[in-house]
Chains A and B, each alone.
Chain A
């Protein structure tokens, strides 16, 4: 059954491309089929595994048995469905290429999340990147060629670095699958040059996830990309890097510190760069799409924090893993919904400058409600999806911590003792907590400027929304609320 999750979108893309079937409709049907198949596969009690073929003696397996596979496949099918449903291409030709690329990105992402073989895992991701570049280059906003090339070069280089890291890891471990790595670790084999491998992996995966300071490609690319591509890339494909890091760390289990440990403190500094530096960059944005692009970069910092906490506890930090999984799912849904609504706002007001709008909530209350819901989710409001993830990540950072003893009860002394008694992860957590304030500032400011206040000039242009316009956003909203109330911790 798993193979169909990959084949269905490919077949649909081929139909659109070769038989010229209507783009959006075919894509929606394919996404719906994937949704049903994926839901069945993800919710099935046993982790199904399928062997596709053999490659140089290594079986190419599709599996949902890896720790993060199910939740990421769930994310991918949900966002794909919303992306193709909410697609609004300028003309029929463009619609076909949008649909094809959306389906191919989704195929690549789903394939990567289900691959046991490390080479297939890498290859599927590369497959998904190609339509992303093409779509930004052809249908993007603004300086699209330049942005597409920047993203191509960044991600191409990152992939090369990543490939080097993966190849060294696999040759030194004599294992070419995730499960094979786990077995090798069980058997006591460890890589000979863990620091080099970890550096390559962190830089490679990190650039793909826009880890500071390799993040500057991300915000312009998302701001420029057509809506479905921005949704799929920011929501799903970008999680590939984190998925890879967490899966590798999980395969190394209690020995993950030996692999990633030597860069952990550096990672903490970089992720603070993501949360605080990029957070403040986000505050200074004046366009909604730039702001959302940067905010997506910023939120990656929390998931890296979970990774650092996981490594610092030597893999013995279930909550960090779970929190990261939940936040990846939640962030994917939220940012996809925000980009989707951004497309709607632009269609209605023909601008994305925050200062030109205002009062859109009076004209289009439903849009205001949905944007507010997604915005509040990304701020981390309880009962919406992101909260469970963020909160568990923060808790997990203090989980494996035994406080050092402190002595005097004078004010300065206690502060000094307090900081002295904390490990690097805890100190970084304090910094990352400030991100809660930052995200509230920019998100509420955006909401205030777009939807509240007196009706502005751009908002005057807004016409009525039809149900069809918001059905995709409603679809995502349902899951954001559902996962907020009942976090899918069982997956």
Chain B
């Protein structure tokens, strides 16, 4: 095998090796660790571009990780290099590089162990690349678990803060619940399709009963529910904002949370859409739609700038999942791709704002930032425009694609999508008005200054991408989908409705929040607002009922049974009987010599009699 053909393995090996070196050897040299991680991200981006532009071609070799005499059970490690994967790699490595770069500015002077931080980023780059490039479900699962781990590591980066440590734990365990279904789905796929390789799945769905297909797909979808934070496992994502903001941008906005969508689309591409039965599609689409709605509603009453963006991410992921459920993988990937750029932009912008306001995250303590940090605010506004789908920005094209698909498949989802779009506009404008306009409401905002070069450069690059990435001439070459072709948009019902939703959102936001100057939320204070601020009590329900009640209760019952039934009653009963039998036998040991002699004499006589009468 030609060495050059194996170059794509560098996508995986380079970040992995760098992570190991960073973490183990460079603990005392954070700058070196940062440089190393940055270089590895840059190298993978370069490699990715080389493959996309056709400078490099060739299929990498396949390695057998766990040999087995049955071919379909071997665990192979192989890479797919189709446009779906390679263009996704561009998003991952591109945003990854920008986030590495941004981190240098953002994390400067942080007292924590920065080598561990960069090692975490590199582990993430490794594991995300594994998910994207995996040519079989087993390898996907490896990446899947590893991104979960890197997310755990980075959310809990400031682990001496109790909330961060708890959030990290919550993220990992919630993802594990999803992975339970995912792994089961992988096993079922192996059972029904007879293979875990994406390449061999094509056309096999036709011979499988729809009922079992439904269960298999839904199980696989569970993985996406966990990783892409869909209802009811969405609770970890808002908490994950405890991590450093660049991490939120890379992992919890642009790439990792989109892995669920990517995986579903990968399955649709390889199994064929006929594998996605109607029931399975309905479940997927409804999960996405419900997530989109409740996340958008909850975002309306958040005060923390990162949490607003987190709920917005949930809501947009809901869109993508809904599109997957509507069998519009192309639209889903289109939205994933535009969303990655503009949401990374929004998060990095928020990060710059937070740093410049001296670690202030509450939008009600900001205000007046337009004058003090115009470049950051401008970039942030570009991202906002893309997110609320103002025509001409990238988000508009992709959202339009999803709405088109929804209208043609099932109008219910179309109207849900439109409603969510109105809510999106409303809460994003609320954020912008409150945080950027009016007078500064706190010291942090008063003394805010423009972010430095390392933070500004990624913002500008992402802002450019947020505007132009939706246009056909770029999208056709970059959207991660095999043979993607941007549709020309037409003036039809979807366009009018989304414009109406946009206008509605803008008008509502302006009516309620004016042009800044308010010091507290006029919507706050009533019971609805309270419910929204408390995340509709879903987290409380999980904490109190499922974890505190069911899980702990069950655990204590088991402990009780283990301790008192198995160890107590069963074992103690056996012990009791043993002791009783011992006492019973000890009666024979009376200690009287004559009694012993009598017994042995009688025994002798009985023996003699037996012998006498038997023979």
Whether chain A touches chain B in the assembled complex (some CB pair under 8 Å): yes
Is B585 in the interface zone, CB < 8 Å from A? no
A437 touching B562, Cβ below 8 Å: no
Q: How far is the CB of A420 from chain B (nearest CB, A)?
A: 10
B555 touching A284, Cβ below 8 Å: yes
> What B residues does A339 contact at CB under 8 A?
none
Main secondary structure of the interface of B (DSSP, over half): helix
Is B236 in the interface zone, CB < 8 Å from A? no
CA A216 – CA B558 in complex, angstroms? Answer: 13
Is B518 in the interface zone, CB < 8 Å from A? no
Cβ contact of A418, chosen from B162, B169, B212, cutoff 8 A: B212
A376 touching B149, Cβ below 8 Å: yes
Q: Which residues in window 371-397 of A have CB below 8 A to B? A: 376, 380-383, 387-388, 391-392, 394-397
Q: Which residues in window 402-460 of A have CB below 8 A to B? A: 403, 405-411, 413-415, 417-418, 421, 426, 429-430, 433-434, 436-437, 440-441, 444-445, 448, 451-455
Is A101 in the interface zone, CB < 8 Å from B? no
Q: How far is the CB of B194 from chain A (nearest CB, A)?
A: 10
Q: A362-B160, A397-B187, A437-B176 are in contact. Are A414 and B279 (CB under 8 A)?
A: yes
A280 touching B558, Cβ below 8 Å: yes
Q: A277-B562, A454-B162 are in contact. Are A409 and B279 (CB under 8 A)?
A: yes
Cβ contact of A382, chosen from B73, B146, B162, cutoff 8 A: B146
CA A230 – CA B554 in complex, angstroms? Answer: 28
Q: How far is the CB of B215 from chain A (nearest CB, A)?
A: 4
Chain B 163-191 near chain A by CB (<8 Å), digits 1 or 0: 00110110011001101100110011011
Q: How far is the CB of B275 from chain A (nearest CB, A)?
A: 13
Which residue on B lies nearest to A294, using beta carbons?
Answer: B562
> What B residues does A444 contact at CB under 8 A?
152, 169, 172-173
Is A142 in the interface zone, CB < 8 Å from B? no
B156 touching A414, Cβ below 8 Å: no
- 9-residue interface stretch from B137-145, B327-335, B421-429: B137-145
Cβ contact of A487, chosen from B66, B187, B188, cutoff 8 A: B66
A398 touching B191, Cβ below 8 Å: yes
Cβ contact of A381, chosen from B23, B145, B551, B571, cutoff 8 A: B145
Q: A322-B66, A451-B159, A487-B65 are in contact. Are A401 and B191 (CB under 8 A)?
A: yes
> What B residues does A387 contact at CB under 8 A?
142, 145
Cβ contact of A448, chosen from B166, B557, B571, cutoff 8 A: B166
Cβ contact of A417, chosen from B73, B143, B161, B211, cutoff 8 A: B211
Cβ contact of A452, chosen from B156, B180, B212, cutoff 8 A: B156
Cβ contact of A429, chosen from B75, B187, B571, cutoff 8 A: B187
CA A401 – CA B278 in complex, angstroms? Answer: 26
Is B4 in the interface zone, CB < 8 Å from A? no
Chain B 366-408 near chain A by CB (<8 Å), digits 1 or 0: 0000000000000000000000000000000000000000000
> What A residues does B68 contact at CB under 8 A?
318-319, 322
> What A residues does B165 contact at CB under 8 A?
448, 452-453
Cβ contact of B176, chosen from A391, A406, A436, A454, cutoff 8 A: A436
Size category of the B interface is: 35 or more
Is A151 in the interface zone, CB < 8 Å from B? no
Is B70 in the interface zone, CB < 8 Å from A? yes
Q: Which residues in window 281-329 of A have CB below 8 A to B? A: 281, 283-285, 318-319, 322
Q: How far is the CB of A389 from chain B (nearest CB, A)?
A: 10
Which residue on A lies nearest to B560, using beta carbons?
Answer: A284
Cβ contact of B209, chosen from A392, A405, A436, A455, cutoff 8 A: A405
Q: Which residues in window 550-581 of B have CB below 8 A to A? A: 551-552, 554-559, 561-562, 566-567, 570-571
Q: A284-B558, A436-B180, A445-B169 are in contact. Are A414 and B159 (CB under 8 A)?
A: no
Is A278 in the interface zone, CB < 8 Å from B? yes
Is B67 in the interface zone, CB < 8 Å from A? yes
CA A436 – CA B172 in complex, angstroms? Answer: 11
A406 touching B212, Cβ below 8 Å: yes
A418 touching B215, Cβ below 8 Å: yes
A319 touching B212, Cβ below 8 Å: no
Is B113 in the interface zone, CB < 8 Å from A? yes
A216 touching B566, Cβ below 8 Å: yes
> What B residues does A281 contact at CB under 8 A?
555, 558-559, 562
CA A318 – CA B70 in complex, angstroms? Answer: 9
Which residue on B lies nearest to A362, using beta carbons?
Answer: B160
> What B residues does A383 contact at CB under 8 A?
142, 146
Is B498 in the interface zone, CB < 8 Å from A? no
Is A359 in the interface zone, CB < 8 Å from B? yes
Is B272 in the interface zone, CB < 8 Å from A? no
A414 touching B212, Cβ below 8 Å: yes
> What B residues does A455 contact at CB under 8 A?
160
B183 touching A448, Cβ below 8 Å: no
Chain B 211-234 near chain A by CB (<8 Å), digits 1 or 0: 110110000000000000000000
Is B410 in the interface zone, CB < 8 Å from A? no
Cβ contact of B69, chosen from A280, A318, A382, cutoff 8 A: A318
Q: How far is the CB of B51 from chain A (nearest CB, A)?
A: 25
Q: A277-B558, A361-B159, A414-B279 are in contact. Are A283 and B209 (CB under 8 A)?
A: no
Q: A409-B279, A440-B173 are in contact. Are A433 and B555 (CB under 8 A)?
A: no
Q: A381-B149, A382-B146, A409-B279 are in contact. Are A403 and B192 (CB under 8 A)?
A: yes
Q: How far is the CB of A384 from chain B (nearest CB, A)?
A: 10
Q: How far is the CB of A283 from chain B (nearest CB, A)?
A: 4
> What B residues does A399 contact at CB under 8 A?
70, 73, 190
Is B210 in the interface zone, CB < 8 Å from A? yes
A408 touching B211, Cβ below 8 Å: yes
CA A391 – CA B145 in complex, angstroms? Answer: 12
> What A residues does B191 contact at CB under 8 A?
398, 401, 403, 426
Q: A216-B566, A421-B212 are in contact. Are A430 and B67 (CB under 8 A)?
A: no
Is B287 in the interface zone, CB < 8 Å from A? no
B214 touching A489, Cβ below 8 Å: no
> What B residues does A407 contact at CB under 8 A?
209, 211
Chain B 452-488 near chain A by CB (<8 Å), digits 1 or 0: 0000000000000000000000000000000000000
Q: How far is the CB of B304 from chain A (nearest CB, A)?
A: 21
Is B277 in the interface zone, CB < 8 Å from A? yes
Q: Which residues in window 165-223 of A have CB below 8 A to B? A: 213, 216
Q: A319-B73, A381-B146 are in contact. Are A284 and B180 (CB under 8 A)?
A: no
B209 touching A382, Cβ below 8 Å: no
B75 touching A437, Cβ below 8 Å: no
> What B residues does A434 contact at CB under 8 A?
180
CA A429 – CA B184 in complex, angstroms? Answer: 9
CA A374 – CA B611 in complex, angstroms? Answer: 70
Which residue on A lies nearest to B565, using beta carbons?
Answer: A213
Which residue on A lies nearest to B567, using beta carbons?
Answer: A216
A453 touching B180, Cβ below 8 Å: no
CA A362 – CA B160 in complex, angstroms? Answer: 7
CA A430 – CA B113 in complex, angstroms? Answer: 40
> What B residues does A394 contact at CB under 8 A?
183, 187
> What A residues does B180 contact at CB under 8 A?
433-434, 436-437
CA A448 – CA B190 in complex, angstroms? Answer: 36
Chain B 266-308 near chain A by CB (<8 Å), digits 1 or 0: 0000000000011100000000000000000000000000000
> What B residues does A392 contact at CB under 8 A?
66, 75
Q: How far is the CB of B293 from chain A (nearest CB, A)?
A: 22
Chain A 66-85 near chain B by CB (<8 Å), digits 1 or 0: 00000000000000000000
Considering the complex of A and B, which 10 residue pairs feature the smallest CB-CB distances, nearest first? A414-B211, A452-B165, A284-B555, A280-B558, A409-B210, A382-B142, A283-B555, A406-B211, A452-B159, A284-B559
Sampled A-B contacts (14; CB under 8 Å)? A277-B558, A278-B558, A322-B66, A381-B145, A382-B142, A383-B146, A387-B142, A388-B65, A395-B190, A399-B70, A399-B73, A430-B184, A433-B183, A444-B152
Interface residues of B (CB under 8 A from A): 23, 27, 65-70, 73, 75, 113, 138, 141-143, 145-146, 149, 152, 156, 159-162, 165-166, 168-169, 172-173, 176-177, 179-180, 183-184, 187-188, 190-192, 209-212, 214-215, 277-279, 551-552, 554-559, 561-562, 566-567, 570-571
Q: A322-B66, A362-B159 are in contact. List 7 more A-B contacts (CB 8 A).
A: A280-B557, A281-B558, A365-B27, A436-B176, A436-B180, A454-B160, A489-B67
